[in-house]
Amino acid sequence: MNPNPADYMIIDGTVIADDTRNILLTARSIFIRSGSITAGSPTTPFHHNFTIQINNTKSDKGWFIDEVVAGNKYLVVSGSLNLYGNAPDTVQTFLTQSASKDDVKIFVKSKTGWAIGDTLGISPSYGIYSQYETVKIIGFNDDGSVSIDPPLLYNHYGSSGPLKTTHGSIDVNSYVAHLNRNIKVIPGPDVGWGVNILVYGYTDGDKVRRDGYVDLSGVQIQDGGQYDTTASALQFLNVMSDKYTSIVQKTSFINCKAWCINVENVRNVTIKNNVFYNAWVFGARVKGL
């Protein structure tokens, strides 16, 4: 069953999500100190919906981890977080034909694993950075197109390959990203003050070294990050162990309130084939590897 909403949750044991039902795990903040949370596996992704919801608001009291880390709306990982959701083979692709404002279908290079009801993000074209948008898939057509709703708000450029010029070629096609996942990390009601997932390495009061790591595949991180503190949706900080490699792949970062990913003073992180959709600062920041 879904556990009752918690205040401040500390996990030192092993939590394994039961893949026989949808699960909501909610707390004001969560500290995976020396334990783990696991849903699915690399070979058997989690089938049901698993949502981790962090409920603190901007005005709530913070949570003190050590002299470096204190704040609120945290999911701090100095143990391990292992989430394997369902993600399609086609996480990102591009338009093969230009699409115009008010169009209700698009042509894309690949759509393997897409399903009716899925959400797509479409990138801007023609140098107008703000003309990105999301649509729902409502059908697949015999001509190879994908029917969408609502109709497009903007014009988006697409072709079968790079645009060729007298000086060479350049890829200016609008990209199309698959956004929704069945495993989600989301904020509670105060969505303007987002979740900070912090993968953290430190030495605790007992002089025990703790280095967190994550294996995230097919996860949706929604409305993460905090603009006022520059806390990112997913942050790696001071993780120096060579024992594990953190992997982030096929994960969608949607409406990041600062950076989507911030990596600082860290070893052994692999980030590949993800989607950053609407970052308030930058999609990724890397420092001190």
Query: According to the model, what pLDDT value does residue 186 have?
Result: 97
Quick one: tokens of 87? 């993600």
Quick one: tokens of 73? 């709306």
Q: Find, among 186, 221, 180, the residue nearest to 86 by Cα.
A: 180
Q: What pTM did the predictor assign?
A: 0.94
Question: 248 - beta bridge partners?
Answer: 216, 271
**Which amino acid appears at position 186 of this protein?**
I
pLDDT tens digits for the chain (289 residues)? 577 888 899 999 999 999 999 999 999 999 999 999 999 999 999 999 999 999 988 888 888 888 888 888 999 999 999 999 999 999 999 999 999 999 999 999 999 999 999 999 999 998 889 999 999 999 999 999 999 999 999 999 999 877 788 888 888 899 999 999 999 999 998 888 999 999 999 988 788 889 999 999 999 999 999 998 888 999 999 999 888 999 999 999 999 999 999 999 999 999 999 999 999 999 999 988 7
Query: According to the model, what pLDDT value does residue 206 have?
Result: 80
Cα-Cα end-to-end distance for the chain: 41
Query: According to the model, what pLDDT value does residue 158 have?
Result: 94
Instruction: Give the CA distances from residue 150 to residues 88, 109, 121, 197, 234, in Å, rounded to whole numbers and listed in that order.
Output: 22, 21, 12, 32, 30
In the three-class reduction of DSSP (H, G, I as helix; E, B as strand; rest coil), residue 232 is classed as: coil
Strand-pair category, 119-122 with 23-32: unpaired
In the three-class reduction of DSSP (H, G, I as helix; E, B as strand; rest coil), residue 288 is classed as: coil
Quick one: tokens of 263? 């990596």
**Which amino acid appears at position 133 of this protein?**
E
Query: According to the model, what pLDDT value does residue 1 have?
Result: 59
Instruction: Give the CA distances from residue 75 to residues 52, 87, 130, 149, 209, in Å, rounded to whole numbers and listed in that order.
Output: 9, 23, 31, 34, 19
Query: According to the model, what pLDDT value does residue 172 have?
Result: 87
Query: According to the model, what pLDDT value does residue 160 have?
Result: 82
